Structure 1
Amino acid sequence: MAGTIFLACLDIGTTKISTMVAEARHDSLEIIAVSTVTSAGVRKGVIVDIESTLGAIKESVRRATEISGVEIKEVYVGISDSHIKTTKSTGAVVLPNGAVTAHDIDEVMENAQTIYVPLDKEILHVIPLNYNVDGETEIYNPQGMKGTCFEANVQIVTAATNSIHNLLKCCEMAGLTVAELVHTPIVSSMAVLRDDELELGVFLIDIGGGTTDIAFFKNNRFQGATVLDIAGNQFTNDLAVGLSVSPPEAEKIKKAYGMPAFPEDYEDESILIGVSGRSEKKVAKSFITKIIMDRSEELIGMISDEMRKLAGSGALHQRVVITGGVSQMKGFEAHVQSLLNMPVRIGVPEGKDVIEKVQNPIFSTLMGLLYYGHKSTFEISVNGLTGDCRGMKRWFKGLVGKFFRIN
């Protein structure tokens, strides 16, 4: 594909809904609009009120259209909730021509997805890990290789049927066609992970308002992911209950104080807070720190358990990249590093096409969706991730056909 086109992406989260528009060429992206509105009707990544979510989507898209002057008709959309699961599978075929062809790759990928899928789940992605030819393992580009037996090892990502349907329905009602629906850690990795991390092994932990995505990458491949329904809103709720303040006030306190590097620094300090319409009261900063640290330790403990499941046997020695809104909380990066005893950094969108406005962890998924859309449209590689983008598009088109008529 040549020339210039416009790409749009939509991040429908628990706390915010964001839209981005870019002018795209084969070798470049120019971001021309970013809009963010408060989310509505979404709980822990799941749409629970279609009308409310629809209104927020329309407003976000309207603002992006107004800024860019581009009519948005098609969008790349992320999906993340605790119902999403990843499973390893293997497919095998006999090579009739004695060498691997593109048709053989398609066939072995089809065979790999013949696994049991519950009635309330759908296959969202089938992502190649590696291939085997006549016992020769860990092959990444098998086309043309000679042999008789050909196998594919894949990661299958499944999502709840209702979650997929509600996302697609909201977009359809907003007048939008979904180009692809992609599990968010896959796209976030394109925005924040570096080539050496993808090759040597890295955990990407994206902590938003409603969900926490934990994904593992190694050998430039997506190795699996899990989603927790504990995230930033739990910190806010804990503060609201513990301090008897409104959620908006609790959110301000969370952002203002977080976790100091040395908690004893707060031992003798106090602040005045509003108490749900009553007169202000004095609260020790150390009490605020304890509430946040207790929840943080619980969350990081759960993350650690999931990391071990994803990495398999052996000690954890990979790096960790944290992103999403919670990664910005004061002291959180150091706290994660201390509890996991692993190198940790905060991931922000990177690359020559990233503008200052989106150099923020809250835009990792949105920027990743744009990179993914660019890669999918122009069939190019982004940030070292070499999964079969065209294949993912094919699985998605078949999935959408179950819900809506497509040409």
Structure 2
Amino acid sequence: MQGTEKIIVGLDIGTTKITAVVGEMLEDEINIIGVGSHPSTGLRKGIVVNIESTVDSIKKAVEEAELMAGCDISSVYAGIAGNHIKGLNSHGLIAIKGREITAQDVERVIDAAKSVAIPADREIVHVIPQEFIVDDMESIQNPVGMTAIRLEANIHIVTGAVSSARNIVKCCNKADLEVCDIALESLASGEAVLTNEEKELGCVVADMGGGTTDLALFKDNNLKFIYTLTLGGHNLTNDISIGLRTPLPEAEKIKIEHGTCAQDNVKNGETIEVPGVGGRSPKKLSKKILSEILEPRVEEIFSLLKKELFSNGLENSFPAGFVLTGGSVILDGITELAESVFNVPVRIGEPNKIGGLKDIVKNPAYATGVGLVLLGSEASCKMNFQDVPTHGFAGLSNKIKLWFKNII
């Protein structure tokens, strides 16, 4: 290993598991050199509800990643998710008065666009410039040096609950880790699984985790829309547990080994063994019963996502289709069911743009962790993130200044 300055660690703090992914920065790619994962019991629907349990899980996931990577981990890029995350679009305008646009003008117009009323219990996680408008010329990505009368900016602001972000930082600090920055998990997942063509044309990523399903719409190479649905893999496991009358741990195993949400794919006579409750003997049931439990719930999740997209007028904004990722997309027939609901092409998204142990992380469950490594590498190279280890929301103006330096 050539130095810790080339090591980037992404920490995915999820509802059902905590994953640490270690990446080594090379000149032309990121090599994954270590992965650690441990069950998570201290979160509910993406929000920390038990500090000590979360700290313990973080320590164990990081220790496992350290052993595999052969290095000590002292800092991480942490993900944030949950239904407290909200996104809004904003517009800003300033006068240029016929001169050339400068770096300071871009900073001023972004400041104007982000000057919106935000409740005291919320803070800005990301400010993502969408486009600049120079007089009547739209879709300008870099207006510096252009002559104009006025300059406008459209930005997307992602906000989150202050307490939720601070609890994530606190858990990491208690695990002897510094937080280089906090990033939106659905943004990280999109970075890991989408192609450049999909992000340009318009594509939706649905990250189905244990406690939530995080949706993110990318178009014109920018994040356009986010939404969190508080339904996920844990709901599927709970449905199996109730429907088949089996303990939750056994229901989780059945979901992983036999889960299907396509009744037509189940062959006649196929059975599964269901462990009993309270020492009762196991029983054999038709696999069709399992599909009858899972298919309606998965269809409900997709229908609610569709309703949210359509109610925001985005029904024609994702011609490149849907990409499903996250640990809960392992179900047989899930892509076919999604296609029937959304009427667009659907595929399972696995991390790409990486080298090293890519066979290990080539799994939808590692999308967020790998995405955080990729975002962290951009931060290290281009300083897109602020470098404040104690508070994930601090230094927003510095973020904008550093972002601007990278586009000129």
- Work out whether the TM-score is over 0.5: yes
Q: Which residue of 1 aligns with 2:193?
A: 192
Which of 348, 351, 354 is equivalent to 2:353? 351
User: Does residue 370 of the first structure (1) align with residue 370 of the second (2)?
Assistant: no
Q: Which residue of 2 aligns with 1:308?
A: 310
Query: Contact between 1:264 and 1:286, CA under 8 Å: does it hold in 2?
Result: no
User: Does residue 284 of the first structure (1) align with residue 277 of the second (2)?
Assistant: no
Q: Which residue of 1 aligns with 2:40?
A: 39
- Superposed CA deviations along residues 125-164 of structure 1, whole A, max 9, x for unmatched, are 1100001111221111111111121111000001111111
Query: Contact between 1:271 and 1:282, CA under 8 Å: does it hold in 2?
Result: yes
How far off its partner does 1:260 sit?
6.2
Secondary structure of the equivalent of 1:325?
coil
- Name the CA distance, whole Å, in 1 between partners of 2:341 and 2:227: 20
The alignment yields a C-alpha RMSD, in angstroms, of: 2.3
- Name the CA distance, whole Å, in 1 between partners of 2:360 and 2:101: 46
Query: Contact between 2:181 and 2:392, CA under 8 Å: does it hold in 1?
Result: no
Change (3 A) 1:71 1:222: same
Q: Which residue of 1 aligns with 2:73?
A: 72
User: Does residue 52 of the first structure (1) align with residue 47 of the second (2)?
Assistant: no
Secondary structure of the equivalent of 1:7?
strand
Which of 380, 386, 404 is equivalent to 1:393? 386
Amino acid at match of 1:300: F
User: Does residue 235 of the first structure (1) align with residue 236 of the second (2)?
Assistant: yes
Structure 1's unaligned 5+ residue stretches are 380-388, 403-407
How far off its partner does 1:308 sit?
2.1
- Name the CA distance, whole Å, in 2 between partners of 1:144 and 1:368: 33
Query: Contact between 2:86 and 2:159, CA under 8 Å: does it hold in 1?
Result: yes
- Superposed CA deviations along residues 276-303 of structure 1, whole A, max 9, x for unmatched, are 1212233232221111011111111111
Q: Which residue of 1 aligns with 2:405?
A: none
Secondary structure of the equivalent of 2:304?
helix
- Name the CA distance, whole Å, in 2 between partners of 1:149 and 1:398: 35
Q: Where do 1:198-347 residues align within 5 Å?
A: 198-259=199-260, 261-263=262-264, 265-266=266-267, 268-276=269-277, 277-309=279-311, 312=314, 314=316, 317-347=319-349
Query: Contact between 1:337 and 1:344, CA under 8 Å: does it hold in 2?
Result: yes
Query: Contact between 1:225 and 1:310, CA under 8 Å: does it hold in 2?
Result: no
How far off its partner does 1:267 sit?
5.5
Count of residues paired in the alignment: 391
How far off its partner does 1:224 sit?
1.4
- With normalisation by structure 1, the TM-score equals 0.90
Query: Contact between 2:181 and 2:387, CA under 8 Å: does it hold in 1?
Result: no
Amino acid at match of 2:41: A
Change (3 A) 1:54 1:395: closer
Once the two structures are overlaid, the 10-residue window that deviates more, 277-286 or 290-299, is 277-286
Q: Which residue of 1 aligns with 2:402?
A: none
Q: Which residue of 2 aligns with 1:16?
A: 17
Query: Contact between 1:26 and 1:378, CA under 8 Å: does it hold in 2?
Result: no
Query: Contact between 2:204 and 2:318, CA under 8 Å: does it hold in 1?
Result: no
- Superposed CA deviations along residues 196-231 of structure 1, whole A, max 9, x for unmatched, are 111111011110111101111111111111111101
Change (3 A) 1:186 1:311: farther
Identity of aligned residues (%): 37
How far off its partner does 1:234 sit?
0.4
Change (3 A) 1:398 1:275: closer
- Name the CA distance, whole Å, in 1 between partners of 2:223 and 2:258: 35
Q: Which residue of 1 aligns with 2:88?
A: 87
- Name the CA distance, whole Å, in 2 between partners of 1:21 and 1:145: 42
- With normalisation by structure 2, the TM-score equals 0.90
- Name the CA distance, whole Å, in 2 between partners of 1:269 and 1:63: 38
Query: Contact between 2:274 and 2:282, CA under 8 Å: does it hold in 1?
Result: yes
Change (3 A) 1:223 1:260: closer
User: Does residue 361 of the first structure (1) align with residue 389 of the second (2)?
Assistant: no
Structure 2's unaligned 5+ residue stretches are 396-408
Once the two structures are overlaid, the 10-residue window that deviates more, 63-72 or 15-24, is 63-72
Change (3 A) 1:249 1:79: same
- Name the CA distance, whole Å, in 2 between partners of 1:269 and 1:69: 45
How far off its partner does 1:333 sit?
1.4
